[in-house]
Structure 1
Amino acid sequence: MRTKNDGLCNVSKKIVCLKAFKSLFCITKEQLETIRKSLIETEHLPQDGRGRHDNRPHRLSDYAKQAVLDHIKTFTLLKSYLGDYLLQELNTTRMRTLFQDAHPPYDVSHETYHNLLYENFNISFGYPRKDTCSTCDELVLKIQYAELKGA
């Protein structure tokens, strides 16, 4: 015979076994109690608060981000119909080192500098070796050979 508080709960007007409910949804009694209290007090499910705090001590300030973006804009871009390119002597490590030398108060990690570069700019390193396909190169060589042979 069942007692009044025998582990049954009333969910959506249907009585279900509390033990089966907890097992099915992998939820603890304390979690269910928190949900129940929130529904009684606010008539809404509790909000998930994970990751919602402002204690990020290593977060890069907006001023530092802008300084990095302005620094990247100072480099000369080589234009091509394929896109924009930086000199092949440059890479993200060298660019970050130059940034750190120019802006010592901003301690920007290599990963952060790299992410800002690739998220905000569509640029590559080194000019493309070829701007033509192999067929075009072959035809140019044939024309040059014919001109040399004919001259």
Structure 2
Amino acid sequence: MVCQKAFLSLFRIGIKRLKRLKGLLKQNITPYDKRGQNVKGNVISEENNVLIRQNIELSPVKETHYSNKSYLYLDGKLNMKIMVDMFKVKYSTTKIRYSYFVIYFYEHFDIHFGRSQVDTCCKCEELDLKIKSPLLGDAAKRAAAPNLQYKKEEP
């Protein structure tokens, strides 16, 4: 047995807390902590995150391959401000701040703005145009496809 006064002073708890714990112990119930149960007011809903993701994925992307890693680039005329404005026009009822949109973009996407002129490869552009051209026959397109694939894979 431990002296009640010594126990209370040693653990710096009050008599009410001790009585509550004794009652729970008699009922064989574990104390339940109710802290942290409230929903934060600044949390952006998952629905809004999906809307942001869909809006970004709708933007046309171009892939470059000159380096070992392929990079995705958005149109050079786009920037973050324009993308946020387009999002706000399309989804005017959602309240997404510019800063949240930017953070979400950089955390979830590895896309750059504008395409560097160094990454422009004339041969790849020519082969890509041949493949997409409606005027060329299937044989010419099939011949250009492996060349383009080889060109993209070379260092």
TM-score (norm 1): 0.54
Using CA pairs below 8 Å that are at least 6 residues apart, which structure has the higher relative contact order? 2
2:55 to 71, 80, 94: 71
Displacement of 1:88 after TM fit?
Answer: 4.5
Residues of 2 paired with 1:85 and 1:39: CA distance?
A: 63
Whether 1:21 aligns to 2:5 is: no
1:28-47 to 2 correspondences below 5 Å: 28-29=13-14, 30-44=16-30, 46-47=31-32
Tell me, what secondary structure is at the counterpart of 1:78? strand
Q: Which structure 2 residue ranges, 5 or more long, are not aligned? A: 120-155
Q: Counterpart of 1:119? A: 107
- Bigger Cα Rg: 1
Higher share in helix? 2
Which deviations, in whole Å up to 9, do the C-alpha atoms of 1:87-106 show, x marking residues without a partner?
Answer: 35433333111100121111
Tell me, what secondary structure is at the counterpart of 1:52? coil
Higher share in strand? 1
Residues of 2 paired with 1:79 and 1:5: CA distance?
A: 75
TM-score (norm 2): 0.53
Residues of 2 paired with 1:65 and 1:50: CA distance?
A: 27
Could you say if the C-alpha distance between residues 33 and 103 of structure 1 is closer, same or farther in structure 2, counting changes exceeding 3 Å? same
Could you say if the C-alpha distance between residues 78 and 93 of structure 1 is closer, same or farther in structure 2, counting changes exceeding 3 Å? same
Q: Percent identity among equivalent residues?
A: 20
Q: Counterpart of 1:92? A: 80
Q: Which structure 1 residue ranges, 5 or more long, are not aligned? A: 9-16, 23-27, 132-151
The Cα RMSD (Å) is 3.2
Tell me, what secondary structure is at the counterpart of 1:7? helix
Could you say if the C-alpha distance between residues 34 and 118 of structure 1 is closer, same or farther in structure 2, counting changes exceeding 3 Å? farther
Residues of 2 paired with 1:109 and 1:50: CA distance?
A: 29
Tell me the amino acid that sits aligned with residue 21 of structure 1: F
Which moved further from structure 2: 33-42 or 115-124?
33-42
